[in-house]
Amino acid sequence: MDEQLTVGEYLIKVLYKNNIKHIFGIPGDYVLGFYDLLNKSKIDIVTTCDEQGAGFAADAYARINGLGAVCVTYCVGGLKILNTTAEAYAEKSPVIVISGAPGINERKKYPMLHHIVKNFDTQHNIFREVTIATTVLDDVDTAISDIDRVVDAVVRYKIPGYIELPRDMVNKKITLSRLWWNISKVQSNQLVLQEALKETIDMINFSKKPVVVAGVEIQRYGVQNLLLELLDKTGIPVVSTPLSKSVINENHPLYLGVYEGAMGYEEVREYVESSDCVILIGSFMTDVDFGNSPTPVDQGKTINLGSSRFLIKYHSFEDVNFQEFIEKLCKSKLIKKHNLDKKLIDNLTQKNRNFINKISNKMINVDLLFQILNDFINENNMVITDVGDSLFGGLDLFIRRGTEFLSPAFYLSMGFAIPASIGAQLANPYLRPIVVVGDGAFQMTGIELSTVAKEKLNPIVILLNNDGYRTERTMLDGHFNDISQWNYTKIINLIGKGKSFVVETTDEFYQALTKAEQNSEYTLIEIKLDKFDASKALKRITDSFRTKVRQ
């Protein structure tokens, strides 16, 4: 191959080949040369108000698109997105972080270049803690394999990677010494796989009341259809978790609801915790998902299949590839049809779909808000919630299609939702985001509505204004849980674009939603709530929360 690309051009080519059509970030002098290259490429640059916004947007983009990228300058940009990269790590979102850096040559002349913290390794060392693979592109001879290695690991493990690009390397020529990048396939050890498969199938076949807990890795690894095949074949009911909500179509006749320990519906909790065979597929046993329950799931009754662990009861298997195993399991002809209590299952599945008649003439509260929203959402929406009661209430919403509920339900970083809606809608422009966000989170990153407007996106933002950090008030209250009262709807005047409404009654909420639906711009709907109002879910876990804070 004679084609001569530069390091920067090759990186862009690999990104584009892996479906990156948008990249998020803010330029700075150490990354300007690469921005110039990006600008000439097919990848759109999406600049945000603050780097934090770019980080959240890239994370959301990655969750929907299968890969995301954020591009920033050295340290003053990179360290601002450490939290969002940590979030992507914790929740398995494949984000590539590209950071500009001082040129290799200028490092020799001035050890104290601007943006340097301790030395030239500081940022790299830090990112090692929140990524699966890293590289500093300081060598034209290895640039291809370095880039390939990082992108390969990110795509394979669904964990962020870090690429540092010194500014004097961007335009250095490389020679293409091998074929274009391809994801290498990891093969299982077939002896281990066969033993594990037999034991799994036996345990399922001999169980009386099996249940599948469908985790977020089902979406990350794209095995939704295999799971559906398994359910159809066996008749085993399925639940999701806070982090994986909407991984399975909530219309599915075997879908029971979200399992979330003591926080969720009592009937769903009971069903799972009384099962004699809990099949966890791609699900992490986090405190949010599994915590706070009086009768937690008994490990002696679980099969726990995931990309980085495989346990049956108390023993584990190594060298079993997650995707390969799921495929073998779901397509197995040895797995039998279960005859389960259909009435019980039907009762549970119907519970999620309890639509309501119009609720007129009432003051709005959190419960009514989510009930009305449940009725409003349709298959052309995706739901993105921030942390706190936005999430707790949002979990009770009925989501009609796969992969359209986004929330940092395990890492729980506030400020996610509004910038995430940018990445999410750019990744899937066919679904209009419904964003549910509290006032505390809105004060952190709500200003990114400016980027929403710049990119001509049109989320409907439901702002729960309850005058502070409501979830914390449940745990331990003090003036530190109060925040300044803003005139939130005035943000459209500051930004110069958008529509806004203030809602105090159910009728006003219906009207605002209708107008928002007709409006082609983003729309902010501020819901005035009582300071101590809360969702049913939050009320259910109040006591448990209190105990933990004061240990």
* Touching its own copies, residues 409-468 (CB under 8 A): 410-415, 443-445, 447, 450-451, 453-454
Classify residue 489 by its DSSP letter: G
Binding mask 284-313 for its own copies (x = CB under 8 A): xxxxx-xx----------------------
329 binds its own copies (CB under 8 A): no
Cβ closest to its own copies, residue 348 vs residue 412: 412
Query: What part of residues 105-124 is at the interface with its own copies (CB under 8 A)?
Result: 105-106, 110, 112-118, 122
Taking the complex as a whole, the smallest distance from the CB of residue 30 to its own copies amounts, in Å, to: 9
Classify residue 320 by its DSSP letter: -
Options 173, 336, 358, 548; binder of its own copies; rule CB under 8 A: 548
Describe the strand order of the beta sheet including 22-25 as a list of residue ranges.
44-47, 22-25, 68-72, 95-101, 161-166, 133-136
Contact (CB, 8 A) for 213 and 280: yes
Cβ closest to its own copies, residue 423 vs residue 446: 446
Cβ closest to its own copies, residue 431 vs residue 461: 461
364 binds its own copies (CB under 8 A): no
27 CB contacts (<8 Å, ≥6 apart)? 35, 47, 73
| Region near its own copies per CB under 8 A, out of 360-368, 392-400, 487-495, 501-509 | 487-495
Query: What part of residues 69-108 is at the interface with its own copies (CB under 8 A)?
Result: 75-76, 79-80, 82-83, 86-87, 89-90, 103, 105-106
491 binds its own copies (CB under 8 A): yes
Taking the complex as a whole, the smallest distance from the CB of residue 543 to its own copies amounts, in Å, to: 14
Taking the complex as a whole, the smallest distance from the CB of residue 267 to its own copies amounts, in Å, to: 24
In three-state secondary structure terms, 480 is: helix
Taking the complex as a whole, the smallest distance from the CB of residue 507 to its own copies amounts, in Å, to: 26
**If we measure between CA atoms, which residue out of 376, 496, 366, 360 comes closest to residue 439?**
366
Taking the complex as a whole, the smallest distance from the CB of residue 511 to its own copies amounts, in Å, to: 23
Residues 537 and 540: their CA atoms lie apart, in Å, by 5
490 binds its own copies (CB under 8 A): yes
In three-state secondary structure terms, 386 is: coil
Query: What part of residues 148-177 is at the interface with its own copies (CB under 8 A)?
Result: 167-168, 171
34 CB contacts (<8 Å, ≥6 apart)? 8, 11, 71, 98, 100, 165, 167, 170
Cβ closest to its own copies, residue 66 vs residue 103: 103
Cβ closest to its own copies, residue 49 vs residue 359: 49
Options 190, 487, 514, 519; binder of its own copies; rule CB under 8 A: 487
257 has which bridge partners?
A: 239
**If we measure between CA atoms, which residue out of 44, 27, 41 comes closest to residue 457?**
44
**If we measure between CA atoms, which residue out of 388, 469, 412 comes closest to residue 287?**
412
Contact (CB, 8 A) for 442 and 515: no
Describe the strand order of the beta sheet including 310-312 as a list of residue ranges.
255-258, 238-240, 210-214, 277-281, 302-305, 310-312, 315-316
Query: What part of residues 47-66 is at the interface with its own copies (CB under 8 A)?
Result: 47, 49-52
Options 425, 465, 481, 523; binder of its own copies; rule CB under 8 A: 481
Binders of its own copies: how many residues, by CB under 8 A?
91
39 binds its own copies (CB under 8 A): yes
**If we measure between CA atoms, which residue out of 342, 304, 341 comes closest to residue 326?**
304
Cβ closest to its own copies, residue 335 vs residue 491: 491
Taking the complex as a whole, the smallest distance from the CB of residue 283 to its own copies amounts, in Å, to: 11
**If we measure between CA atoms, which residue out of 487, 406, 475, 409 comes closest to residue 443?**
487
